Protein backbone atom coordinates (compact mmCIF):
# COMPACT_ATOMS: atom_id res chain seq x y z
CA UNK A 1 0.00 0.00 0.00
CA UNK A 2 1.46 3.34 -1.00
CA UNK A 3 1.79 6.20 1.45
CA UNK A 4 -0.10 9.46 1.16
CA UNK A 5 3.15 11.08 0.04
CA UNK A 6 3.55 8.55 -2.77
CA UNK A 7 -0.09 8.95 -3.79
CA UNK A 8 0.28 12.72 -4.04
CA UNK A 9 3.51 12.40 -6.02
CA UNK A 10 1.77 10.04 -8.46
CA UNK A 11 -1.23 12.36 -8.82
CA UNK A 12 1.16 15.24 -9.50
CA UNK A 13 2.84 13.25 -12.28
CA UNK A 14 -0.57 13.03 -13.95
CA UNK A 15 -1.43 16.72 -13.34
CA UNK A 16 1.91 18.55 -12.94
CA UNK A 17 0.39 22.04 -13.09
CA UNK A 18 -2.30 21.53 -10.44
CA UNK A 19 -1.64 24.01 -7.60
CA UNK A 20 -3.87 22.10 -5.18
CA UNK A 21 -1.82 18.92 -5.63
CA UNK A 22 1.41 20.88 -5.17
CA UNK A 23 -0.05 22.45 -2.03
CA UNK A 24 -1.23 19.07 -0.67
CA UNK A 25 2.20 17.56 -1.32
CA UNK A 26 3.89 20.50 0.40
CA UNK A 27 1.61 20.16 3.43
CA UNK A 28 2.40 16.43 3.57
CA UNK A 29 6.11 17.33 3.70
CA UNK A 30 5.34 19.72 6.58
CA UNK A 31 3.47 16.95 8.40
CA UNK A 32 6.38 14.52 7.86
CA UNK A 33 8.88 17.23 8.91
CA UNK A 34 10.65 17.11 5.54
CA UNK A 35 11.63 20.73 6.02
CA UNK A 36 13.69 21.24 2.86
CA UNK A 37 11.00 19.70 0.67
CA UNK A 38 8.32 21.73 2.45
CA UNK A 39 10.25 24.99 1.97
CA UNK A 40 10.87 24.20 -1.71
CA UNK A 41 7.19 23.41 -2.20
CA UNK A 42 6.07 26.66 -0.60
CA UNK A 43 8.60 28.70 -2.58
CA UNK A 44 7.51 27.07 -5.83
CA UNK A 45 3.84 27.74 -5.07
CA UNK A 46 4.49 31.41 -4.33
CA UNK A 47 6.55 31.78 -7.50
CA UNK A 48 4.52 29.72 -9.98
CA UNK A 49 1.01 29.89 -8.46
CA UNK A 50 0.98 33.22 -6.60
CA UNK A 51 -2.84 33.34 -6.62
CA UNK A 52 -3.14 30.10 -4.62
CA UNK A 53 -4.07 31.93 -1.45
CA UNK A 54 -3.88 28.99 0.98
CA UNK A 55 -0.12 28.93 0.56
CA UNK A 56 0.57 32.20 2.35
CA UNK A 57 -0.84 31.42 5.79
CA UNK A 58 0.82 28.01 6.01
CA UNK A 59 4.11 29.19 4.53
CA UNK A 60 4.17 32.02 7.06
CA UNK A 61 3.50 29.60 9.93
CA UNK A 62 6.23 27.30 8.59
CA UNK A 63 8.70 30.19 8.50
CA UNK A 64 7.75 31.23 12.03
CA UNK A 65 8.36 27.66 13.23
CA UNK A 66 11.81 27.87 11.66
CA UNK A 67 12.56 31.10 13.55
CA UNK A 68 12.28 33.25 10.41
CA UNK A 69 9.76 35.80 11.67
CA UNK A 70 10.76 38.61 9.29
CA UNK A 71 10.33 36.35 6.27
CA UNK A 72 6.99 35.12 7.66
CA UNK A 73 5.80 38.71 7.95
CA UNK A 74 6.74 39.32 4.30
CA UNK A 75 4.78 36.25 3.22
CA UNK A 76 1.73 37.30 5.26
CA UNK A 77 1.89 40.77 3.68
CA UNK A 78 2.07 39.29 0.16
CA UNK A 79 -0.86 37.03 0.97
CA UNK A 80 -2.89 39.95 2.29
CA UNK A 81 -2.43 41.82 -0.98
CA UNK A 82 -3.54 38.82 -3.03
CA UNK A 83 -6.49 38.10 -0.73
CA UNK A 84 -7.60 41.73 -1.16
CA UNK A 85 -7.28 41.50 -4.95
CA UNK A 86 -9.24 38.24 -5.02
CA UNK A 87 -11.77 39.56 -2.47
CA UNK A 88 -11.20 36.45 -0.34
CA UNK A 89 -12.28 37.91 2.99
CA UNK A 90 -11.87 34.71 4.98
CA UNK A 91 -8.22 34.33 3.95
CA UNK A 92 -7.73 38.06 4.41
CA UNK A 93 -8.86 37.87 8.03
CA UNK A 94 -6.67 34.87 8.79
CA UNK A 95 -3.63 36.49 7.20
CA UNK A 96 -4.18 39.79 9.01
CA UNK A 97 -4.46 37.98 12.35
CA UNK A 98 -1.31 35.95 11.62
CA UNK A 99 0.51 39.15 10.66
CA UNK A 100 -0.53 40.90 13.87
CA UNK A 101 0.57 37.91 15.98
CA UNK A 102 3.90 37.64 14.17
CA UNK A 103 4.39 41.39 14.61
CA UNK A 104 3.67 41.11 18.32
CA UNK A 105 0.54 43.27 18.16
CA UNK A 106 -1.54 40.72 20.03
CA UNK A 107 -1.19 37.32 21.57
CA UNK A 108 -2.98 34.23 20.25
CA UNK A 109 -4.46 33.63 23.73
CA UNK A 110 -6.27 36.99 23.78
CA atoms of 26 and 9, how far apart (whole Å): 10
Quote the pLDDT of residue 22: 97
Of 49, 46, 47, 67, the closest CA to residue 57 belongs to: 46
Query: 110, 97 in Cβ contact below 8 A?
Result: no
Is the per-residue pLDDT at 2 higher than 80? no
Per-residue pLDDT reduced to its tens digit, 63-86: 999 999 999 999 999 999 999 999
Contacts 24+ apart (CB under 8 A), 74-79: 75/46, 76/102, 78/46, 78/50, 79/53, 79/55
Quote the pLDDT of residue 105: 81
Per-residue pLDDT reduced to its tens digit, 25-39: 999 999 999 999 999
The better pLDDT of the pair 16, 78 is held by: 78
Amino acid sequence: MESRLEQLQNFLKESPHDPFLKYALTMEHVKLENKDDARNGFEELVEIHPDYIGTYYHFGKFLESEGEKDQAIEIYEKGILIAQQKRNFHALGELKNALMMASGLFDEDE
